């Protein structure tokens, strides 16, 4: 999941917390025996001076690189990645400071973009389609601007937002406080899973669709408690980059597909007091910001298609999987048709 909860997980918490608590050895054994059933391989490349972890689903044809959001990891694409392997070589990777990749600064869009450049070089990919969820839209935009010869088509997965726009910065500063991971969610893996599901993925019925993402987000401690894998200090730096690195769509020449979720936070499921807070925040901040963002990308991107789908910023790829896959396959297929036409 695109723990962008702003590209943007939760409000910054100073220091890495440890949470007391014991769980039965059977639960520890179950965690140790679990293995990721997704049909991809995991590997590492050296890029821009660091080690980046990547997932490779394989597949014929051109590369499709999937870029996760802030505070997330590439397993957020486990559910959707296989939908494209009949036509594309599908790859997702962990941005520096995320997942299993090295946590070494600096953390800014320029560096993240050169990391992507180096990843492509290391994997022998000269040109690719790029799809960025949430903060991943920063690398998509920058890569298409700085290295246009390496980019075919780009897809924004609820990522065609300028997170450094003052309107969004104000929204983030007022982000609902109940989205901060509580200590109680760190007492065990099951508690963490339950918290993530209740707050961010209440509409996703099958937990297996996001289990690998949940497990990669934490480190299980000897007593069965968990700590979030991403340190608070790194999270703070990544969020700061998100809130300060402005987008420049005017340099993009690649055709773009911008998929928008109908809401940023859940306004339908959960405790009534929480939903009331969510709805108030959504109406005050995100509705006008979403409208302004759509107007802007239509004005500044030379060739853009906008698609709206049901769901929230965190779950739309799950709850609207069919619509997202159909829109992306149709959009990306136009590239090969265009190439054939040029050869003729």
- At 177 the pLDDT is 79
Quick check: is 199 in a domain? yes
250 found inside a domain? yes
223, 229, 235, 237 alpha-carbon torsion, rounded to 10°: 120
- The answer on pLDDT for 71 being more than 70 is yes
Whether the CA torsion 128, 133, 137, 138 is positive or negative: it is negative
Output the pLDDT for position 156.
98
7: number of Cβ within 10 Å: 30
Residue 5 lies in a domain: no
Please check whether residue 10 lies inside any domain of the structure: no
Pairing of strands 50-58, 41-47: antiparallel
Number of domains into which the chain is organized: 1
For residue 6, is it left (φ>0), alpha (ψ between -120 and 50) or beta? left
Residue 291: band (very low, low, confident or very high) from pLDDT cuts 50, 70, 90? very high
Does a structural domain hold residue 8?
no
The token pair that represents 273 in the structure block:
């007091």
| CATH code for position 225 | 3.40.50.1820
Is residue 254 in some structural domain? yes
What confidence score (pLDDT) does residue 31 get?
52
Domain that holds residue 204: 25-343
pLDDT at residue 336 in the model: 63
Residue 334 maps to a domain: yes
Q: Is the pLDDT of residue 324 over 90?
A: yes
Rounded average pLDDT over 202-228:
95
Taking only the tens place, the pLDDT of each residue in 31-52 is: 557 888 889 999 999 999 999 9
Dihedral sign for Cα 75, 106, 133, 330, please: negative
Question: Does any domain span residue 11?
Answer: no
pLDDT tens string 244-256: 999 999 999 999 9
């Amino acid at each position: 999941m695109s723990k962008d909860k702003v590209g943007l997980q939760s409000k910054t918490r100073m220091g890495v917390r440890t949470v007391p608590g014991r769980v039965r050895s059977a639960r520890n054994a179950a965690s140790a025996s679990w293995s990721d059933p997704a049909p991809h391989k995991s590997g590492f490349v050296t890029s821009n001076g660091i080690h980046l972890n990547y997932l490779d689903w394989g597949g014929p044809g051109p590369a499709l690189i999937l870029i996760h959001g802030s505070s997330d990891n590439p397993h957020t694409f486990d559910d959707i990645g296989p939908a494209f392997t009949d036509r594309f070589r599908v790859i997702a990777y962990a941005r520096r400071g995320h997942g299993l990749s090295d946590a070494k600064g600096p953390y800014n869009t320029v560096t993240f973009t050169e990391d992507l450049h180096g990843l492509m070089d290391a994997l022998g990919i000269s040109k690719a389609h790029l799809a960025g969820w949430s903060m991943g839209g920063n690398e998509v935009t920058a890569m298409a601007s700085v290295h246009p010869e390496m980019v075919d088509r780009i897809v924004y997965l609820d990522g065609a937002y300028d997170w450094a726009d003052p309107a969004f910065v104000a929204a983030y500063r007022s982000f609902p406080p109940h989205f901060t991971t509580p200590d109680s969610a760190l007492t065990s893996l099951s508690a963490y899973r339950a918290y993530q599901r209740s707050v961010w993925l209440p509409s996703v019925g099958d937990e297996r669709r996001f289990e690998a993402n949940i497990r990669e987000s934490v480190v299980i401690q000897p007593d069965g408690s968990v700590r979030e894998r991403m340190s608070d200090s790194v999270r703070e730096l990544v969020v700061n980059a998100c809130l300060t690195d402005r987008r420049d769509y005017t340099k993009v020449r690649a055709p773009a597909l911008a998929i928008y979720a109908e809401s940023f936070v859940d306004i339908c499921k959960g405790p009534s007091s929480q939903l009331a807070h969510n709805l108030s925040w959504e109406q005050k901040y995100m509705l006008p910001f979403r409208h302004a963002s759509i107007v802007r990308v239509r004005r500044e991107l030379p060739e853009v298609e906008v698609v709206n789908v049901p769901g929230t910023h965190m779950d739309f790829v799950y709850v609207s999987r069919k619509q997202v896959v159909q829109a992306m396959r149709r959009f990306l297929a136009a590239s090969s048709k265009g190439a054939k036409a040029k050869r003729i």
